[in-house]
């Protein structure tokens, strides 16, 4: 490393440490900051001035004096700057502006209506153009942060592989930066939830397996506080872990993949075929007026919590397949926690209890006894928090050099 690079790295670390400290422990004086992170008062002075000029930090009152003038206190200001967050998914494109605490100021949703490939990208660019055009003071926009399902190369900002959206090697970052002239970030959706869990969640885990169950099944792995991306960015494809030997054929070419047993399209079609069969005991038919499209994950989770017999049977099967995959994964990774999220999991205490019980019964005692299985503690719009967290980590280095 050249001397110049070393100096640059140290400056970035100091900046991130100072910003983190003010964000978490402010209002705080410059003197206290210098003492806590062991840097010179001159360095703190110059970095705090930069952060104030850029709108990240503001003065807030004065502290006690132990003699002499009372020190000015500084606090994090989430409202001056904002982020444009984008969630690309199979069914919709959602764009929002958020402050740096994740409060949504404005959000727009566009249905994708089964668009794929070039048509999908065109819809995305048109929607983003409309959104950006009516925003005031773009100079306060810290960046555009985009999350997408599938295999993503976060470093290059490229969607490498998404069969359902027919997106292969699409350079989203370059495309957006060239169109709008705003620094842009791209990451896999589940990876972004892992970063959000660390940034906004109740526990800042350093070694974590995060699993989402909804339209598809995805996972993210945190190792020593950093996302484990693997050799080419496709780590965490737990949805394609085979849980049934010689089972149902999967779009990936393999058979018996987890995704085909626990994702919403599978559960939905199982409910529909049960409703079409005589003699199945369920309360779901009473809620849908014959319209199978009105069976939503929320309705299913509610039916589970009410003890509906059909839903209980399906949830038992889901828990069985999920726990097989979780046991395999925790034996391999030995995380401190497994966090579950997604529309089929959130609010589903029955599923959580079943998975806990099955994992602890099957895992090696030394592993099973030491891994907590929890529901995500994130509240609100997890996708938008995910996109914001990607930017906070990359642009402001929040959480990169110090534990939050």
Contact residues toward Zn ion (CB under 5 A) are 240, 250, 252, 254, 257
Of 250 and 333, the one with the shorter C-beta distance to Zn ion is: 250
| Residues in Cβ contact with 398 at an 8 Å cutoff, skipping those fewer than 6 apart | 16, 19, 20, 23, 199, 392, 404
Of 28 and 257, the one with the shorter C-beta distance to Zn ion is: 257
Of 232 and 254, the one with the shorter C-beta distance to Zn ion is: 254
What the block records as the tokens of 370 is 């030491």
- Smallest distance from the beta carbon of 8 to Zn ion, in angstroms? 43
| 198 touches 222 (CB < 8 A) | yes
Of 102 and 256, the one with the shorter C-beta distance to Zn ion is: 256
Stretch (H or E) spanning 141: strand 141-148
- Smallest distance from the beta carbon of 296 to Zn ion, in angstroms? 25
CA trace torsion 387, 391, 393, 398 (10° rounding): -110
Of 92 and 254, the one with the shorter C-beta distance to Zn ion is: 254
Backbone angles phi and psi of 305, in degrees to 5 = -65, -25
- Smallest distance from the beta carbon of 253 to Zn ion, in angstroms? 7
Question: Under the phi-then-psi rule, with left for phi > 0, alpha for psi from -120 to 50, and beta for the rest, what region is 26?
Answer: beta
188 by DSSP, 3-state: which? strand
- Smallest distance from the beta carbon of 227 to Zn ion, in angstroms? 22
- Smallest distance from the beta carbon of 234 to Zn ion, in angstroms? 13
| 242 touches 254 (CB < 8 A) | yes
- Smallest distance from the beta carbon of 118 to Zn ion, in angstroms? 26
DSSP codes of every residue in 201-245: SSS--SSEEEEEESSSEEEEEEETTEE---SSS-TT-GGGSB-ST
Question: From edge to edge, which strands make up the β-sheet containing 57-62?
Answer: 28-29, 72-76, 57-62
Of 153 and 237, the one with the shorter C-beta distance to Zn ion is: 237
């Amino acid at each position: 490393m050249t001397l110049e690079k070393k100096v640059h790295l140290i400056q970035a670390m100091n900046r991130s440490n100072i910003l983190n400290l003010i964000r978490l422990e402010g209002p705080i004086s410059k003197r206290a900051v210098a003492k806590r992170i062991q840097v010179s008062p001159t360095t703190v002075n110059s970095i705090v001035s930069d952060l104030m000029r850029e709108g990240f930090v503001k003065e807030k009152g004065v502290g006690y004096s132990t003699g002499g003038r009372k020190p000015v206190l500084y606090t994090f200001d989430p409202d001056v700057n904002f982020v444009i967050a984008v969630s690309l998914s199979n069914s919709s494109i959602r764009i929002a502006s958020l402050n740096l605490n994740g409060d949504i100021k404005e959000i727009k949703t566009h249905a994708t209506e089964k668009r794929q490939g070039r048509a999908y990208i065109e819809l995305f660019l048109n929607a983003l153009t409309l959104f950006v055009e009516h925003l005031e003071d773009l100079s306060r926009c810290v960046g555009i942060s985009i999350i997408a399902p599938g295999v993503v190369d976060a470093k290059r900002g490229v969607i490498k592989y998404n069969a359902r959206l027919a997106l292969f090697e699409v350079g989203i970052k370059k495309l957006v930066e060239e169109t709008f002239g705003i620094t842009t970030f791209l990451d896999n959706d589940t990876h972004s939830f892992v970063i959000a869990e660390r940034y906004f969640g109740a526990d800042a885990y350093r070694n974590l397996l995060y699993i989402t169950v909804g339209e598809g099944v995805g996972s993210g792995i945190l190792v020593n506080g950093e996302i484990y991306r693997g050799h080419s960015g496709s780590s965490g494809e737990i949805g394609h872990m085979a849980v049934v030997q010689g089972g149902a054929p999967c779009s990936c070419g393999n058979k018996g993949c987890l995704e085909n047993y626990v994702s919403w399209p599978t559960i939905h079609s199982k409910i529909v075929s049960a409703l079409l069969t005589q003699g199945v005991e369920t309360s779901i038919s009473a809620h849908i007026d014959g319209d199978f499209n009105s069976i939503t994950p929320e309705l299913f989770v509610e039916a589970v919590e009410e003890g509906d017999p059909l839903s209980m049977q399906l949830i038992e099967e889901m828990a069985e397949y999920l726990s097989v995959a979780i046991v395999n994964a925790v034996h391999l990774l030995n995380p401190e926690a497994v966090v579950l999220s997604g529309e089929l999991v959130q609010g589903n205490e029955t599923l959580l209890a079943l998975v806990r019980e099955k994992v602890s019964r099957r895992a090696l005692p030394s592993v099973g006894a030491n891994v907590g299985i929890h529901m995500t503690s994130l509240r609100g719009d997890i996708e938008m928090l995910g996109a914001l967290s990607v930017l906070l980590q990359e642009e402001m280095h929040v959480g990169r050099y110090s534990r939050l």
